[in-house]
Amino acid sequence: MMEIKYPKNENKEVKYIGKDGNPVCILTSKNNREFFILYEVLSNGILNKLGRARSPTELEEKFQIHERMKR
């Protein structure tokens, strides 16, 4: 299992796992959940920021997280 390099000063909220058992994306929050940040997990454990929003659901829909998890 790969080690993810989490961002400093952000709270880990959700880890989205693909059907192969590896993390696909992670969701973090900042400022007492004022907004959420979605990252794509690259194969080396580095995170690629996809976007941020006030609602996790908005990010899940915009970046089709559930479809990514099925791949």
Q: What is the pTM of this model?
A: 0.91
Q: Using CA of residue 59, residue 40, residue 19, residue 4, what is the dihedral sign?
A: negative
Given pLDDT bands bounded at 50, 70 and 90, which one contains residue 49?
very high
Could you tell me the pLDDT band of residue 32, with boundaries at 50, 70 and 90? Answer: confident
Q: Which two tokens stand for residue 29?
A: 């929050």
Tokens at 30, concatenated:
């900042």
In 1-71, beta strands by DSSP E: 11-17, 23-30, 35-41, 47-53
Distance CA 45, CA 13 (A): 17
Once rounded to an integer, what is the mean pLDDT over residues 21-34? 92
At residue 17, the pLDDT reads 94
